[in-house]
Each structure stands twice: as C-alpha cells, then as structure tokens.
Chains A and B, each alone.
Chain A
Amino acid sequence: MSALRTISFDGVIVGGGGAGMRAALQLSQSGYKTAVISKVFPTRSHTVSAQGGITCAIASDDPNDDWRWHMYDTVKGSDYIGDQDAIEYMCSVGPEAIFELEHMGLPFSRTEEGRIYQRPFGGQSKNFGEGGQAARTCAAADRTGHALLHTLYQGNMKNNTVFFNEWYATDIVKNQDGAVVGVIAICMETGETVYVKSKATVFATGGAGRIYASTTNAHINTGDGIGMALRAGFPVQDIEMWQFHPTGIAGAGTLVTEGCRGEGGYLINKDGERFMERYAPNAKDLAGRDVVARSMVLEIIEGRGCGPEGDHVFLKLDHLGEEVLESRLPGICELSRTFAHADPVKEPIPVVPTCHYMMGGIPTNVHGQALTVDAEGNDHIIPGLYACGEVACVSVHGANRLGGNSLLDLVVFGRASGLFIEKALREGIDMRDASETDVEQAMARLDKLNASSGGENVADLRKELQNTMQNHFGVFRNGEFMQEGIRKLEDLRGRIENAKLDDKSMVYNTARIEALELHNLFEVAEATAVTAEARNESRGAHARDDFKDRDDENWLCHSMYYPADKSVGKRSVNFEPKTVDTFQPKARTY
C-alpha cells in the first residue's frame, strides 16, 4: 500500500458540533476507543451560533406540559412528512437528554422557582393545537447553542475523548462488501493524510447553508458529510427542503433568533403594519418559519418592503423595553448594533428571509444507522455508517423544522447513535478490512486535486454556485426557472471538479481545504436542485409557483436522490408511532 498511515478506533465521529460531541460523550463514557475528527476546534462549530433555545416538554413553564403536544406541533410543522416514530422518540426522550445537559453544567436561564426558563417559539401549542400558545423552548439567554456546545466540549474533556482538531475528512473508505470502514483525513497543521479506520463511522458534519449566497450559516457549513456520502454512492433524503429563517439581518445574513418574536417582538412593513396578522390570524408572528418567510417575501414583492430599495422588513423590539432586551436578548442587541447599525432598544432591525437549515440529509433510523432503499422500496442499513444532527434526516423535521428543534434533534440523536454503537460494539462488529484498492479509491479525489494544474479560481466558482442557488432555488420556486438553474449547475460541475489549486504546500493549506469544500457544496447543490425540480407540489419550505398546493396523493412521502444516475425516488413516511395514535395529515393553518 501507499505510505498512508492507518489509525484505528472503535468509533470515529466526523464533526465536533453538538451532535458529534454528544455521540462522542456517550461512547467515551462506555470506555470504547473513540475519536472526534473536527475541521475546527470543537467550540468553533456552528452549533455555537444557535441562539433562542432547545424545545422540549420539561414542564417548567407549564407543569401540565406533555411531550405528545410537542410531538403534535412537530408533525404539523413538518407538513406531515416527518417520521412519526422518530418524532415520538425525540419528544419523549427529550426531557431526559435536557436534564443530562443541565447536570453536566449547562447554564440555563432560570424561573423564580429555580427551574429551567422556557420561552414561546413559533409553531408551539398546548393540547394538540387547541390550548393556545405554549412556551416550550429551554433557553440560556439568547446564547443557548454556545452554552450547549461548550458544556458538551467540557463533558468530553472530563471523559477523555480523543480529539483530532483541525483535521479534515475528505472521503469515505468502503470495503469490498460496500460497508463503511472509516475515512481519509488530512491533518491541517502538517498536511499529512491518514486512513482513520473504524468499526463505526458517525457523520455529524452539520449543514451546508453555504450553497446559498445569503445564509445565516458559518463559513464552515459546506456539506462535507453529504458530499462524501453522495460520492460514495449513497442516497440523500428530502434534500430539496431548505429552511429560510424569517429574520436574518438584511445584507449581513447573521441570525436574529425567533426568540425575539417569542418574547413579544413582531414584524412590520413600510406602513408600520403588523402584517402577520393577515397571513396567520391566530399565531401571527409565531406561525411556522416557512409561513412567516413566505409572508415577508410577499410583502416585499408587493411593494411594502422597507428601506430605500424596499428589500426587507423590520423586526420591532423597542416596545419590550431595555431591561427585557438586555436580560433576555443581550446577544441580539450586540449583533444588531454591530451588523445592522441599529440599536433594538430604540429602533427596529432590518430583516429578510435567509437560508438557515437543511431539513434533508442522510436517511437514518432512530439509532442513527444510515439507510439506503432498494428498487422495491425496502430500507437497507449501510453497515458501518451512522449520521446524526443536521447532516442526518431521521426525519424529525420533514418539510419544515420548528424553531428550537434542531438542538433537541442533535442532542437526542447524537446520544441515540452513541447508545446504539456502544451496544453494537459490545455484541461485536465484524467487517472485512479495506483493501489497498479500497483506500486508493477513497484517495482518488484528493490525489487528483493535488496533481492538478490550471483551472478556475475557487472563490469565483463558489460565488457563481451560490448565486445560482439563491436565484433559482430560493423561497419561491418555479419549474422552468429551476430547469434553467439545473442547466447552469451542469455547466458548473466540470469547472468545479477542475478548480484551481496553485498552492500545493503542506502546512495549514486552507486553499486545499476550500477547494475540497467546494466539491461538497456542489454535490449538495445539485442534489437540491434536481430533487426540488422533481417535487411537483408545495409543502413546508418547498413552495412552487407552478404547483401551489400540497399534493398528498402523490407526494406525502420522502424524496430520495440517488447520485449514480441522478434520479429521484420516493420513500414512505412513517405513520406508526409506538405509544400514541397516528397524527393524520390535515390542512396546515396557523
């Protein structure tokens, strides 16, 4: 074999965000040899940017709160293509997972009774939609993601998890049986490439919001896990479903938490009208994110946008008073002053719907095991591969995620993956070693890039990709226009595969990493585009001008994108929760 060094672990987690570190914690506590590969020091992962909180029926705000109500909201929010067994698992196990975090030290805000503070978020109800607005989102001021991520890093430190920080995984290593037996990874500091061998490879690589020009996502959210899975020939599910967060700061893209509206803030158009009263008479500004984002875009299109260009609306907070803003939303005040030059205590924040979250991803079961589907529609487990967090599609979010459910998703399913792998390791995992050819195959892309000459500038290509996605696959979509977008992507594929890497140095070569990331961005973008064009209906975040209605007859199902022939298939949604009755699809109004 080549001079490639091999490092072996029982479990390897790719990604050091909330999901990855929760999975790692579980495995480290069990005593199995566990490593986390993270392309940034773990507390720089994107979980750190989560603001408003983590939704869970811990019965603090309302002693009678019930996880089944949370489940109802989540199923409805998903526009009925969230899997009900997975949502049931998340909502029922959630409280235990939250209390564990608190015991670990997470500095939650508190109620007068000393319990965890919960605030209202969009799409929340009591009593299965009949009992009015609930307050179910557990918060550490408006820095919940930061508090959670640091607490998890600290917990891993306490349990001696091995971290490969600033290492970058490039591709999956598969053995002759098609099982996943580890990844190829680059140590960024030295440039050394190694084969990290593992009995269980967990992808916790997060989202890919950087496929859009305007995004709340960090620079590092480049869909590395999706790219690796697609290149290995594995399918992705519901990848056309992208959440546009209603309140990104206009121009900058930085996130303004839904918690602002939970605390009583609301959106206004240029006439000062609280326009959400027209679109969602009951929930108003706390309707589902997809509903609010579309309403904002309609206001702007119809000429009621704010600012000299009329290209945004305002989020009004000043009526809440300085004390509430400084105690409940201190981070927002800081961000708004820095990026919008607006002090929320005195003036509204200019906001616009901004790409925020990838509902789709690698299909998994509730144990985090990655799946593929055969021609007859039967699920098959991919041996050795697991996924959790944003990169996975369990699916608890379906066509639209509720605010506060992403942090719960990553904690619950990071934990579930760890628990399952621990059990599997105890029972014994037997997979054939990768051959030389298997490893060489996984090295092919990196080898090609390292040997390349010429090609176009990575930053220019990335911008072109992002603009194509922004223009052709945004909040509102249209068949003809999407087909044009797909043609542009077809032209981009070859150019991106042959992008230029002038700098072939070894030590901390970020140019090499950015070129590899661009390949991943492209894979996510293309899968999104092809699948969005195929889903001939409007559901959740996927809104089409040419198919305005939800089509339960044909599309009450997951989409599956198969990379080998770029085809789109369907997979059944789970309507069989174990302990409650099925929530039947009905018209979704707020």
Chain B
Amino acid sequence: MLQVSIYRYNPEQDNQPYMQDIQVDTGGKDLMVLDVLEMIKSQDTTVTYRRSCREGVCGSDGLNMNGKNGLACITPLSETVKNNKLVIRPLPGLPVIRDLIVDMTMFYTQYEKVQPYLQNDTPAPAIERLQSPEDRAKLDGLYECILCACCSTACPSFWWNPERFIGPSGLLQAYRFLADTRDTATTERLAQLDDPFSVFRCHGIQNCVNVCPKGLNPTRAIGHIRNMLLSRAT
C-alpha cells in the first residue's frame, strides 16, 4: 500500500489546511500520480484538483510532489515516491482556493504583462510571412510552454516579488516574441522590461530549469533578454 499524504483545505469548513493520510493500493503498478489522485477521488469525491489532457500538454495539473513541482499526469510513481511515501501539495507561493487548486491570477497577470502576441506593424502579405527554417528554429524551446506554472512557483524570486518580477514562465514567453523574426516591437518590448524587477530579479537559481516538465530552459532565455537589455543600453 502506497502511503499518500494530501494537502487538504476547504475554506467553507476548515480554519486551516491539514495533511490527510490515505493508503492507496496501486497493485504494484508504476502509475502516474494523476492516476493515484483519480483513484482517491473515486472514493472521496471531495478531494479537489485540476486535470484535463492527462498527457502533459494542457498544463492543468501542476503540483508539488514530494517537494518537487511537476505535472501529475506524466510523473510516474517510480520517479517521485521515496520510502513508499508520496506527499502531494499545491504549487507553492500562490494562494490556495481549495485543496490542490491554487489561484493562478498573479501568474497569468505576469504572462499578460509581456504582451505575448505577435506585433508587426507592416502590412500583412496575401500569403504567410516568410521565415527561414533557421529563424524558425530560434523559437524551439520557447513556444512549447504550457503555462503550468511549475517554474514560476519554484522560483524564490517569484515568491518574494510576484507582482513585480515577471517570473521564468512570463520571461520565456517574452523572449519567444523577442526572438521571432516576424515581430517588429523589439524596442518597445525591451523598454517595458527595463527596470530593476521585471527581469533583473532573476538570480540564476535555475529551479525553473530543474522542474520544467517540458524540458525548457527559462534561465537561458532570461540570459538572452539581459544581453539584449545591456547591449541596448550601450
């Protein structure tokens, strides 16, 4: 029997959160953490979490499992369980709405701040805008972000300044548009990021890189933005 310990909090009846211990019979199978949650919920319907695609592309089920952020649907027990114990908590640093569900507003606000949409003030051609495979390759490792918030909620700088530091996810998206040869708003984008907090609160701790379930590297993208900001200043 797997020993699962889940963070529980229902604001309608609990004064404070608590950890609930539940034993789960996995039948010795290397299930995904989401499978375990579904097994638990089929018995106790009050256990609450988000989930959608169950294959690691929608970004709904970012959770903290045995101390590490990740997606429940693509985290096999063999990767996270230690000493037969699995501790499941909501993503750290964001307000909890109920059980494993956090309020993502601050995370989404930072995403919106970087104006994550293509800006191009030249008239669009009758067909697509051309882009070489080499230029398109510059977007690899950037556009794949699924907005799960695993990175930003693992980042101490984001915990301390969630309102002023864009955070690794938002900055990855900021660079996705800075790197896109079809975007013409580079100057404006950089001007918006040029303050002591938006970018420069990144201290290169690299928790974001460690936890990203898509294997992306926000720290590297932030480095590129820093360089662009610095060369812009000179």
Asked whether B128 lies within 8 Å of A115 as measured between CB atoms, the reply is yes
CB pair A116–B128 under 8 Å, yes or no, is yes
B112 interfacial contact with A, CB 8 Å: yes
A553 interface residue, CB < 8 Å from B?
A: no
Q: Are A43 and B147 also in contact (CB < 8 A) when A158-B117, A507-B97 are?
A: yes
CA distance A218 to B49 in the complex (A): 15
A179 CB within 8 Å of chain B: no
Q: Which of A106-114, A291-299, A395-403, A563-571 contacts B (4 or more CB under 8 A)?
A: A106-114
Bound state CA distance, A288 and B76, in angstroms? 35
Question: Using an 8 Å CB-CB cutoff, how does the interface string of A503-516 with B read, 1 for contact, 0 for none?
Answer: 10111111100100
Pairwise interchain contact B118-A104, C-beta atoms closer than 8 A = yes
Q: Which of A4-12, A423-431, A455-463 binds B?
A: A455-463
The reply to whether the CB of A22 lies closer than 8 angstroms to some CB of chain B is no
For A87-110 the 0/1 string (1 means CB < 8 A from B) is 000000000001100111101111
> Known interface pairs A109-B136, A505-B13. Does A49 touch B46 (Cβ–Cβ under 8 Å)?
no
Residue in B closest to A112 when the chains form the complex, CB atoms: B133
Check: A33 CB closer than 8 A to any chain B CB: no
Q: Contact check, A105 vs B117: say whether CB atoms are below 8 A apart.
A: yes
**Contact indicator A506/B52 (Cβ below 8 Å):** no
- Asked if A44 and B42 sit within 8 Å, CB to CB, the answer is no
Do the beta carbons of B54 and A218 come within 8 Å of each other? yes
Which residue of chain B has the shortest Cβ distance to A220 in the bound complex? B52
Please, what's the 1-or-0 string for B49-72, where 1 marks a CB less than 8 Å from any CB in chain A? Answer: 111111111111000000000000
Q: Judge if A502 is at the interface, Cβ distance under 8 Å.
A: yes
**Which residues does chain A contribute within 8 Å of B59, judged by CB atoms?**
43-44
Contacts of A113 in B (CB 8 A): 130
Q: Cα distance A102–B136 when bound, in Å?
A: 12
Task: Kindly list chain A residues whose C-beta atoms are within 8 Å of the C-beta of B54.
Answer: 218-219, 254
Known A-B contacts A58-B127, A511-B46; A155 and B132 likewise in contact (beta carbons under 8 Å): no
What are the residues of chain B within 8 A of A457 when measuring CB–CB? 42
Q: Which residues of the partner chain B approach A40 to less than 8 Å between Cβ atoms?
A: 50, 52, 58, 60
- Does the CB pair A99–B118 fall under 8 Å? no
When the two chains form their complex, are residues A107 and B139 in contact, meaning their CB atoms are under 8 A apart?
Answer: yes
CA–CA, A96 to B199, complex, Å? 38
Q: How many residues of A contact B (CB 8 A)?
A: 61
> B180 contacts A105, CB within 8 Å?
yes
Query: Within 8 Å of chain A (Cβ to Cβ): is B2?
Result: no
Q: Is A338 part of the contact surface with B, judged by Cβ < 8 Å? A: yes
Assembly CA distance A102 to B146 (angstroms):
20
**Chain B interface: which size bin?**
35 or more
Note all chain B residues with C-beta closer than 8 A to A338: 56, 74, 76
Smallest CB gap from A458: residue in B: B45
Cβ contact of A505, chosen from B12, B49, B55, B76, cutoff 8 A? B12
**A49 neighbours in B (Cβ, 8 Å):** 53, 55, 57-58
Q: B11 to A507, Cβ gap below 8 A?
A: yes
Which residue in A98, A104, A110, A189 is a CB contact (below 8 Å) of B97? A189
Q: Please, which residue of chain B has its CB at the minimum distance from the CB of A511?
A: B45
How far apart sit A334 and B129, CA to CA, in the bound complex (Å)? 30
Q: Is the CB of B133 within 8 A of A44?
A: no
What are the residues of chain B within 8 A of A254 when measuring CB–CB? 54-55
- Return chain A residues, CB-CB under 8 Å to B146: 43, 48, 146
Q: Give the residues in chain A near B49, CB-CB below 8 Å.
A: 510
Which A143-162 residues sit within 8 Å CB-CB of chain B? 143, 146-147, 150, 154-155, 157-158
Please state if A460 and B42 are interface contacts (CB–CB under 8 Å).
Answer: yes
A506 with B12: CB separation less than 8 A: yes
Q: How far is the CB of A209 from chain B (nearest CB, A)?
A: 12
Q: Contact at B131–A48, with CB atoms within 8 Å? A: no
- The answer to whether A154 and B60 touch across the interface, beta carbons within 8 angstroms, is no
Cβ contact within 8 Å between B129 and A103: yes
**Chain A residues with CB below 8 A from B147, complex form:** 41, 43
Q: From residue 185 to 229 of chain A, which have CB atoms closer than 8 A to chain B? A: 189, 218-220
A470 to B108, CA, bound (A): 39
Using Cβ atoms and an 8 Å threshold, which residues of chain A touch B97?
A: 189, 507-508
- When the two chains form their complex, are residues A44 and B48 in contact, meaning their CB atoms are under 8 A apart? no
Q: With the chains together, A108 CA to B98 CA distance in Å?
A: 39
Bound Cα distance from A150 to B74, whole angstroms: 21
CB pair B130 A114 closer than 8 Å? yes
Q: Which of A107, A335, A502, A509 contacts B136 (CB 8 A)?
A: A107
Closest 4 CB pairs of A and B: A105-B118, A114-B130, A459-B42, A511-B45
- Which A residues form the contact surface with B (CB < 8 A)? 40-41, 43-46, 48-49, 58, 98-99, 102-105, 107-116, 140, 143, 146-147, 150, 154-155, 157-158, 189, 218-220, 252, 254-255, 331, 334-335, 338-339, 457-460, 501-503, 505-511, 514
Which B residues are within 8 Å of any A CB, using their own CB? 10-13, 41-42, 45-46, 48-60, 74, 76, 97-99, 101, 104, 108, 112, 115-118, 120, 124, 126-133, 135-136, 139, 143-144, 146-147, 177, 180, 182-183
Q: List 7 A-B contacts (CB under 8 A).
A: A48-B57, A107-B180, A109-B136, A110-B136, A114-B131, A252-B55, A514-B45
- Beyond A110-B136, A509-B48, 16 additional contacts (C-beta under 8 Å) are A43-B58, A44-B59, A46-B52, A49-B53, A49-B57, A103-B118, A105-B117, A105-B182, A107-B136, A114-B133, A143-B57, A158-B117, A338-B74, A502-B45, A503-B45, A507-B10
